[in-house]
Chains A and B, each alone.
Chain A
Amino acid sequence: MADFQIKKTPKSYDVCIVGSGAGGGMAAYVLANAGLKVVLLEAGPLYDPAKNVTQLKWPWESPRRGASTPYRNFGDFDAAYGGWSLEGEPYTHKDGTEFDWFRSRMVGGRTNHWGRISLRFGPRDFKHKSIDGLGEDWPIGYDDVAPWYDKVDQLIGVFGSKENIPNEPDGIFLPAPKPRLHEMFIMRGAKKMNVPVIPSRLSILTKKINDKRGQCFYCSQCNRGCTVHADFSSSSVLVKPAIETGNVDIIANAMVREVLTNNEGIATGVSFVNKDDKQDYTVDAKVVVLAASACESARLLLNSKSARHPNGLSNTSNVAGKYLHDSTGADMGGILPDLIGRKRYNEDGVGGMHVYTPWWLDNKKLDFARGYHIEYYGGMGMPGYGFGFGMQGLNGQYPGRNGSKKEAGGYGADLKDDYRYYYGASFGMSGRGEAIARETNYCEIDPNTVDKYGIPVLRFHYKWSDEEIKQARHMKETFEEIIVNSGGVVTWGKDGKENNYGLAAPGRIIHEVGTTRMGNDPKKSVVNKFNQAHECKNLFIVDGGPFVSQADKNPTWTILALSMRASEYIIDELKKQNI
């Protein structure tokens, strides 16, 4: 007998879902609650923030005081395993271009550590080509998605405020926490320049919504995962209750190789490598749902070649992998001299900002397309690795407790007091904006490289255009003005033309979408308006891949709404025996 054989998983399922992040978790939740038998494949280990705890730990409980490591790029206390590079799972680049791909292989995926910024796309966001001629319109509009956003709001919970801003649709909101001190300085400063600053919209329970999940207790550590499940992560809010229905078998450490199809080109299941025993398996299902992340799902399509699908699964259009786009990002920070020597109190609040700035300008009057929102941070946070670095750049700049300036740098009791004196006076902001989806920005299969499982890897080709670079310049000009108007002094983040105004490398904002975009025309899109593959009717993609354009919003809330919508469609089509 050969050493290598492919084992067949004995049980057959209604639905096989690949990936347990926002899209896969939602699909599992909806389909399992409808009574369908689901197998959920996750490429990483099981994870539950109530059991895998880093919340309410102190910096000294990490020998590196929370600094990042190759196994946890956002630091020792962050909930997300993995990061920009994974051992034995490379990706490559074409023509010297840049793209950084963040992968978090674990139940819940990247929802375990995200910022919980839960913004709906607005009416303009679905139809931007009609407005500025760039990119493509979605085949659906806000009215198609609005009822699903409502359901997501109610199921998961999001706080915010009703503002009636045309392209920032209001949701069904929980109470919004009061702004922190530096946020009030920012509000005062931004008002002088007519930049709106409104309560943020985060999926954190400031009020109890059911008996399964606790209420936020304001430790500001959502990125560590919440032991009482008071914030949204797919692992705690979707996958856990889905499993509790008894209709879901979850297979952890299952790295999917390809989608299997029959002679008619219909999906029959998937094949995967079990990372624990290193054996290959197949699993059969009537419907296959890909939610492995935009790029990973595109990779699966492209690697699933057969006689009926010679160019990859559902890829006659040659669109799979193309139109990849991440949010733009640029940042700046400063110090608020008024807050030097401030009074101490517990300022933790929720995880992340209590206020933010939605896009507020008219692009017709600007030299770039599309907008950005602004996220704010600062205040008296818990010290971690990097605390106090660069004091010599600060303590010679401002009058000390005795009213006079001193020589920068130093040592001793006097220096020790400087760390107390300047603590909590720093603040900063980040712009997160919309990039244009372009055919020339893509991922494809690298013909020469495989990962340690023998699966051909992705090769990226990505370049920012002038639209994104000019947007970054506008961010920087605005940030400096906000800092100054708030009474602050810029201490970092002044960038210029030489480095594209600090525009983050593509992939760095971790909002990559667009690689399996939806559309009515099978020649120009991979899936239809219900996230169903044009050329394989029992295959669905419910991650960020089907996004036609990303908006100046974070993608998660829209991934959730569209996955819920697609899942209800699957239930309906199965009932009608259409798939």
Chain B
Amino acid sequence: MDRRESLRRIAIGSVGAGLLVQCEPKTEKPATAQAPAGAAVTIDRTPEELARDQKLQAEKFFDEHEMKTITVLSDIIIPKDDKSGSASEAGVPAFIEFIVKDMPHYQTPIRGGIKWLDLQCMRRFNGDFASCTAQQQIEMVDEIAYPAKAKPEMQQGVSFFNTMRDLTACGFFTSKIGIDDLGYVGNRPNQWDGVPDDVLAQYGLKYDARTLEIAPKYT
């Protein structure tokens, strides 16, 4: 099989579905657009893997209030900006629901963290976190979002928020919206011919003659 045929086979075969998704017009998608639950399986799975994933997807861990809180928090962490959509638009809450079922060590810290947050807000604002005004929510988040300057009594909240920041960012930047935002332009057939010239110049670097001599040549 020659190279051109290889590339064509890939284009029509394994990434066909991916390309179709990419070609869709950029419209606002509902929060569930990339929800893992019930999504078609497009990657190689063994029967054991399929059974496990189906079982996890059929389970429900967070209740409605918890999901609402996770959605509010994730959009505070990664909001819509002039470049791309928000965490919830990228399907982050559904990703977090799945990952805590997949990795049970997250369950207690997040469930307990939400409860901790609600209690703090009850004391301060007489309402749970999700019911607070946007201003109250930010006031609360400011207490736990900056580890170095947070008060000692806020430490549990800092740990919870660190976990939420990690999972939100990870869920966002591994979504289609997030990868486009990040500007990752790989994961497609390419001909690697070294660092672009303008980038080499920017860093005062160049390839020596021998490197150029032994490198693959493209026509």
Task: Name 30 interchain pairs, CB-CB below 8 A, sorted by A.
Answer: A56-B14, A57-B15, A60-B176, A61-B42, A64-B103, A65-B171, A175-B217, A177-B216, A208-B3, A214-B1, A217-B10, A219-B190, A343-B198, A343-B202, A344-B183, A346-B188, A346-B192, A348-B186, A349-B192, A380-B184, A383-B174, A386-B170, A387-B173, A389-B166, A390-B166, A408-B148, A409-B148, A409-B161, A411-B77, A423-B182
Residues of A within 8 A of B211 (CB): 178-179, 199
Residues of B within 8 A of A35 (CB): none
A217 and B46 form a contact (CB under 8 A): no
Q: Which of B57, B174, B207 has the most chain A CB within a 10 Å cutoff?
A: B174
Q: Chain A interface: which of B24-32, B60-68, B94-102, B124-132?
A: B94-102
A63 and B169 form a contact (CB under 8 A): no
Residues of A within 8 A of B2 (CB): 208, 211, 214-215
Q: Which residues of B contact A (CB under 8 A)?
A: 1-3, 5-7, 9-10, 13-15, 18, 34, 36-37, 39, 42-44, 46, 48-49, 52-53, 56-57, 76-79, 81, 91, 95, 98-99, 102-103, 141, 145-149, 161-162, 165-166, 169-171, 173-176, 178-179, 181-196, 198-199, 202-203, 205, 207, 210-212, 214-217
A531 at the interface (CB under 8 A from B): no
CA distance A45 to B187 in the complex (A): 28
A81 at the interface (CB under 8 A from B): yes
Also in contact, A392 and B162, with CB within 8 A (given A175-B215, A348-B192): yes
A411 and B165 form a contact (CB under 8 A): yes
Measured between C-beta atoms, what is the minimum distance from B116 to chain A in Å? 17
Residues of A within 8 A of B13 (CB): 53, 227
Measured between C-beta atoms, what is the minimum distance from B211 to chain A in Å? 6
The 3 closest A-B pairs by CB, nearest first: A63-B36, A214-B6, A388-B169
Partner of A60, one of B15, B34, B146: B34
* A interface SS class: loop
Also in contact, A220 and B186, with CB within 8 A (given A55-B14, A77-B43, A207-B216): yes
A278 at the interface (CB under 8 A from B): no
Partner of A65, one of B174, B190, B202: B174
Residues of B within 8 A of A412 (CB): 76-77, 79
A69 and B18 form a contact (CB under 8 A): no
Q: Mark A116-128, 1 if CB is under 8 A from B, else 0.
A: 0000000000000
What is the size, in residues, of chain A's interface with B at 8 Å between Cβ atoms? 91
Residues of B within 8 A of A59 (CB): 174-175, 179
Measured between C-beta atoms, what is the minimum distance from A418 to chain B in Å? 9
Residues of B within 8 A of A67 (CB): 99, 102-103
A176 at the interface (CB under 8 A from B): yes
Query: Within A456-494, which residues are at the interface with B (CB < 8 Å)?
Result: none
Also in contact, A53 and B57, with CB within 8 A (given A175-B214, A409-B148, A415-B78): no
B173 and A57 form a contact (CB under 8 A): no
Residues of A within 8 A of B78 (CB): 415-416
